[in-house]
Homo-oligomer: A and B are copies of this chain.
Amino acid sequence: MSRRTEDYLEAIYQLSMEKGYTRVKEIASKLNVKPASVSEMLAKLSKEGYLIYEKRLFVTLTEEGRRVAESVRERREVLVKFFVTLGVSKSVAEEDACIIEHVLHPETVTQLKNFVRFVEESPIYPKWLNHFKRFCQSGVHPCKASAR
């Protein structure tokens, strides 16, 4: 299962949300490739059992395809949330997440999740965040600055 394969599955998954299926043209525009490339990939994915493609009509994921897509999406969401917590802008966060979601070791993903939850659940979260933001701007840790 290559990275690109995962990209396709996730794109298809998302595009299918509303109508239950999607089309070559939509996938192509989502992934910024030409329809011809999508056609090719669909043939491959369908042969490998990740989706069912009613020729010239619509694409639907199989159980297996959906499973993969969901896990990719989950990983991506953790990353986005995480980068955003860190003060990265949403658009950049999404871009970066999209790129690296495929390759992180499960252990890393677990720790990212832990971190996000830890920070969110901390009673001093607002204060922490505020301090962190000030640190980003001034380069000085507020707790230290006030101590001397």
Contact = CB atoms under 8 A, between A and B. Distances in A.
Interface of A: 83, 86-89, 92-93, 95-96, 99-100, 103-105, 107-108, 111-112, 114-115, 117-118, 121-124, 131-132, 135-136, 141, 143-144, 147
* Chain copies in the assembled complex: 2
Given A88-B111, A121-B141, A122-B141, 18 more contacts: A83-B108, A83-B111, A86-B111, A86-B114, A88-B108, A89-B107, A95-B105, A96-B105, A99-B103, A100-B104, A111-B136, A114-B135, A114-B136, A117-B135, A123-B141, A123-B143, A123-B144, A123-B147
Contacts of A121: 135, 141, 144
Given A141-B121, A144-B121, A115 B96 contact: no
Contact of A135 (B107, B118, B147): B118
A143 B121 CA distance: 9
